Amino acid sequence: MFDHPSFDSHEDVHVFHDEPSGLRAIIAIHSTALGPAAGGCRMWNYASDEAMLTDALRLSQGMSYKNAMAGLELGGGKAVIWGNSHTDKTPELFRAFGRAVEHLQGRYWTAEDVGLSPADLAAAAEETSYAAGLENGAAASGDPSPVTALGVYRGICETAKRAFGSPDLSGKTVAVQGVGHVGSDVCRHVAKAGAKLYASDVNTAALERISKETGAIIVAPDEIYDQPMDIFSPNALGATINDESFSRLGAKVIAGGANNQLASADMGEKLRKAGVLYAPDYVINGGGIINVAAEISGAYSRTWVDGKLDVLMQTLGDVLDESLSEGMPTNLVADRIAKARIGRSA
């Protein structure tokens, strides 16, 4: 464990098993330097417990950085549940998960991530007071995706301002990969701003809906990289910026909501050298966790959320400016600032 390549001085890592419900879960807490750890719960059918642990550690470290860059008084943590989210879910499983979260007495706040639905989170919340992003309740903040998407749109404009000399997207071409909760709203914002849109998704019904609404030109999933574009906005899976896609992309800006966009950290330097300005994923997509943090505070306020989003956009601008002035890749500039904020050595 302590030699694990993703261990990165995690404060604690908890393994939970509940035989009656079949729960097998890990809750990893990377840092509580800024406050209680917060990060969603992912349900995934891992190939091995090693793969599960790696995912938990990587994701919880990512939440430390994201929460720090969003200026929140929250540390970083993440939960993973081993199972097939289409066939293995039961309310009892999520109640058992809720008991696991409650066991940590507030060191970790959970929320929705890949594989969980609002109903799953509600079942967990029957057993713990440390669940946020709920649809019902006094401070419930609901689906964070619209705030994530607003931050991504504003981040696209911030990045365009530096790459093209203006945040104005009219006359620009934007290619959006993935039109789910976040990507569909990004399409709406970008279309409203007057950009020409290409969009791809493996879900053709969702794609047709958003095309009808925004005029986006539909392209096949693998063809999105080859479109003539100024801006590429990944809003689906991770690791889509890799050597293969990089050789095909003509964009001067990469700015989207997906987590872990770079297949490896050295892609950041490759992009910089090629004159592509990349908005670091965990900075530009911090709007959602800001919305969740408002609920954790106990008194949800949209004004507070908007204020935090303004500061996040300034932080993104600072990262981009520092990268341009120092000749350092944006992902490493962001890591440096995040580490300093949580008191970890660079």
> How big is the site for ligand NAD, counted in residues (CB under 6 A)?
24
Binding status of residue 180 toward ligand NAD by CB under 6 A: yes
The CA distance from 153 to 174, in Å, is 11
The DSSP secondary-structure symbol of 36 reads S
Binding status of residue 62 toward ligand NAD by CB under 6 A: no
Yes or no: say if 274 and 119 are a contact pair by the CB < 8 Å rule.
no
Spell 10-19 as b/e; 16+ CB within 10 A means b.
bbebbebebe
Q: Taken in order 205, 209, 249, 282, is the CA torsion positive or negative? A: negative
User: Which one of 144, 155, 280, 329 is in contact with ligand NAD (CB under 6 A)?
Assistant: 144
Binding status of residue 259 toward ligand NAD by CB under 6 A: yes
User: Which one of 201, 230, 295, 335 is in contact with ligand NAD (CB under 6 A)?
Assistant: 201
The CA distance from 30 to 77, in Å, is 6
User: Which one of 187, 258, 271, 316 is in contact with ligand NAD (CB under 6 A)?
Assistant: 258
Residue from 78, 89, 252, 308 carrying the catalytic annotation: 78
User: Which one of 182, 253, 277, 316 is in contact with ligand NAD (CB under 6 A)?
Assistant: 182
Give one DSSP letter per residue of 86-145, joined into a string. Answer: TTS--HHHHHHHHHHHHHTTTSEEB-B-TT--HHHHHHHHTT-S-B-S-SSSTT-----H
Q: Site map for ligand NAD, 276-315, x if CB under 6 A?
A: ---------x--x---------------------------
Binding status of residue 31 toward ligand NAD by CB under 6 A: no
Binding status of residue 206 toward ligand NAD by CB under 6 A: yes
Q: Site map for ligand NAD, 217-256, x if CB under 6 A?
A: ----x-------------xxx-------------------
Stretch that binds ligand NAD, among 12-20, 158-166, 180-188, 329-337 (CB under 6 A): 180-188
What is the β-pairing status of strands 12-18 and 41-44?
Answer: unpaired
Yes or no: say if 131 and 121 are a contact pair by the CB < 8 Å rule.
yes
Quick one: 263 or 324, whose CB is closer to ligand NAD? Answer: 263
What is the β-pairing status of strands 75-82 and 196-200?
Answer: unpaired
Reference 160, options 302, 42, 276; nearest CA is: 276
Q: Minimal distance in Å, beta carbon 258 to ligand NAD?
A: 4
Binding status of residue 183 toward ligand NAD by CB under 6 A: yes
| Helix (H), strand (E) at residue 80 | strand 75-82
> In the window 67-106, what residues touch ligand NAD (CB under 6 A)?
none
Q: Is 78 part of the annotated catalytic residue set?
A: yes
Binding status of residue 121 toward ligand NAD by CB under 6 A: no
In angstroms, the Cα distances linking 321 to 200, 226, 279, 298 are: 31, 28, 11, 35
Binding status of residue 202 toward ligand NAD by CB under 6 A: yes
The residues of the shown chain that bind ligand NAD, judged by CB under 6 A, are: 144-145, 148, 177-183, 200-203, 206, 221, 235-237, 257-259, 285, 288
Catalytic residue IDs: 78
